[in-house]
Amino acid sequence: MVMAQPWCFCVMTISLTLFVVVNATTIPPSSQAQQIHDKVGKLPGQNFTINFDHYSGYVTVNEKAGKALFYWFIESDQSPQTKPLLLWFNGGPGCSSIAYGEAEEIGPFHIRPDGKTLYLNPYSWNQVANILFLDSPAGVGFSYSNTSSDIQNNGDKKTAEDSLEFLLRWFERFPQYKGRDVFITGESYAGHYVPQLSQAIVKHNLKNKKNAINLKGYMVGNALTDDVHDHLGVAEFMWSSGLISDQTYKLLNLSCGNQSFVHASDACAQIQGIAYTEIGNIDPYSIFTPPCSANHSQSNQLLRRKLSSRIGKFSEEYDPCTESHSTVYFNLPEVQKALHVDPAHKPAKWEPCSDEVHSNWKDSPKTVLDIYRELIPSGLRIWVFSGDTDAIIPVTSTRYSIAALKLPTVSPWRAWYHDGQVAGWTQGYAGLTFVAVRGAGHEVPLHKPKPALALVKAFLDGTSLPEAELVRSY
């Protein structure tokens, strides 16, 4: 034991020196100061220690309008300097990536049912990446604009533009991440945001080679992709899972088949309402798990979650009332202070999803498959995954959308394994990998945290998912 001390001391000295050198050469004083300002200390209710740094705050994307986007950046707990940068977006449109992605899916800080104390998510994706959560666009979560009309004029195009602007400015604040491998990920309506931002980055890079963002790929889960195929898949999944009547199945296809998901007609909304009455009080985002409350209300705004009110006591593995806990936690003044939320710009009440943003959404193209077709030849790594017990954007929708791309198969359909069990199924196409996650709902990392971590690790490493040797008798 005595012999170990000089060696330990020596290693520590070298590490500290390296750290100072790297910082001194890459981070200008103004950025250093901003980082120090944004650095988050121990969070309220955090009674565990962590071995990673994390930062939160605003990045102004439009000075004139006074539009600023709120981010939470969580470094990897293992060698952050060698890990890629992973952006995560949630959907809605109108929902906070912090409410869902951070607090109940891939982030390290999850919230207990008391709404006041935290626990460390043992399957946080910051084990394999530095994660950047962005409340996008303005009006969502803690992101704001001083120009109130901005909130009522959000849409896909503006979201992509502002997200790109955010990212460029964020790299100015965190220049040590410039040139780092970047992967953009998200779920649900982020099926629009993720390829749209990827496209915007690719276009930016063509014009700004010196200030390029080193985008390596994107991945979406249970993603809105193509309205026609998505509607087709929803109706078929609902019917084949035994959720709705034969008649409603037919009417869903008739009334919704060619509709926009975000701007559906009254006739489509009406038959969707009938479908949800037939389904009864299950969680359509995860059809086999108990819903938060026996009497919670369900929205026919299919891409967003309504806040559930019951605060129950559940295991840390899966808690159907987790949105309620977030709503308590992120409204606590001490939490907002710790996260550097500006009292002058904080929302009257923090909510996981903004109704105002959702109901005033402008442009929402009926498909983003054209962006896939444009980006696949660029060599980006593109993965599309699907939790197979989600009735909102089900696995059938994703399969129809991918089939519409007519891509050649490069590795045939097969099961993939995790912990000795079938974790799902995968097929490799030229330029795109499909992954189903068995028994997972709309929020895959919420329902299947361990396989989800294995999935993102394979995605980031560019490796294929584990395959088991099977003994079969035919």
Task: Point out which residues bind its own copies (CB under 8 A).
Answer: 236-237, 239-248, 273, 276-282, 287-288, 290, 294-295, 297-300, 386, 388-389, 394-396, 399, 403, 412-415, 417, 420-422, 424-425, 427, 436, 438-439, 468, 470-474
Smaller CB separation from its own copies, 85 or 465: 465
* Catalytic site includes residue 442: yes
In the bound complex, what is the minimum distance in angstroms from residue 220's beta carbon to its own copies? 16
DSSP SS3 for 412: strand
Smaller CB separation from its own copies, 315 or 473: 473
Helix axis angle, 395-405 relative to 227-240, nearest 10°? 140
Paired tokens of 343: 């009292």
Smaller CB separation from its own copies, 201 or 392: 392
In the bound complex, what is the minimum distance in angstroms from residue 379's beta carbon to its own copies? 25
Q: DSSP per residue over 72-84, as a string?
A: EEE--SS-GGGSP
φ/ψ bin of 79: left (φ > 0), alpha (ψ from -120 to 50), beta (otherwise): left
In the bound complex, what is the minimum distance in angstroms from residue 226's beta carbon to its own copies? 16
In the bound complex, what is the minimum distance in angstroms from residue 272's beta carbon to its own copies? 9
How many C-beta atoms surround the C-beta of residue 209 within 10 A? Answer: 7
* Catalytic site includes residue 162: no
Q: DSSP per residue over 364-408, as a string?
A: --SB-HHHHHHHGGGT-EEEEEEETT-SSS-HHHHHHHHHHH-PP
In the bound complex, what is the minimum distance in angstroms from residue 298's beta carbon to its own copies? 7
Catalytic residue among 96, 188, 286, 386: 188
* Catalytic site includes residue 342: no
Smaller CB separation from its own copies, 212 or 274: 274
Partner residues linked to 88 by β-bridges: 133, 185
Smaller CB separation from its own copies, 368 or 423: 423
φ/ψ bin of 431: left (φ > 0), alpha (ψ from -120 to 50), beta (otherwise): left
Catalytic residue among 110, 230, 390, 401: 390
Sign of the alpha-carbon dihedral angle for 84, 18, 43, 151: negative
Smaller CB separation from its own copies, 196 or 396: 396
Helix axis angle, 227-240 relative to 246-256, nearest 10°? 180
Q: How far is CA 115 from CA 43, 190, 219, 293, in A?
A: 13, 26, 31, 17
In the bound complex, what is the minimum distance in angstroms from residue 297's beta carbon to its own copies? 4
CA angle 458, 463, 466 (to 5 degrees): 75
Cα maximum dimension of the chain: 79
Rounded Cα–Cα distance for residues 54 and 39 (Å): 6
In the bound complex, what is the minimum distance in angstroms from residue 279's beta carbon to its own copies? 7
Paired tokens of 406: 């007519």
Is 336 within 8 Å of 346 (Cβ atoms)?
Answer: yes
Residues forming the active site: 188, 390, 442
